[in-house]
Amino acid sequence: MVNELKIKFGEENTTKPIEADPEQMKILPVNFGVEYKKMLLYLHLFISKDYLCIPKRFDKLILSLRTAYAREFSLDKEQTSYSDSLDALRLSLKGFKID
């Protein structure tokens, strides 16, 4: 599916690893099997530094964050409500950098 999207949006179809750059990219494949812990750690950093503000209308995402349970930055999806919303949030932070 990633390859088809890249073709549709006129992007170079390459398999070599690349850094996320929102100015240069539209489609960035993400391997959750490799990056899931790193993405959860990054989300934790965003929240702990008060860099993230979620409007009240995103009640499922807020519930997901409130019920999220992780052990060593590995999310327990059985105990987390609406884990897909949490995954979408983790993906949306891929293009941002914090110090």
Q: Please, what's the b/e burial string for 61-76 (b: 16 or more CB within 10 A of its CB; e: otherwise)?
A: beebbeebebeeeebe
36 and 21 inside one domain: no
Over residues 52-77, the pLDDT tens digits come to 999 999 999 999 999 999 888 888 88
35 and 21 inside one domain: no
- Report the pLDDT value the prediction gives residue 45, as an integer from 0 to 100: 92
Give CA separation, 34 vs 1, 29, 40, 50, 78, in Å. Answer: 19, 12, 12, 26, 20
1 and 38 inside one domain: no
Q: CA neighbours within 13 Å on the CB side: how many for 82?
A: 14
55 and 39 inside one domain: yes
- Report the pLDDT value the prediction gives residue 54, as an integer from 0 to 100: 92
Q: What angle do CA 82, 83, 85 make, to 5 degrees?
A: 75
Q: How many domains does the chain have?
A: 2
Of residues 2 and 78, more confidently modeled:
78
39 and 23 inside one domain: no
Over residues 4-44, the pLDDT tens digits come to 877 787 777 766 666 666 676 666 778 888 888 999 999 99
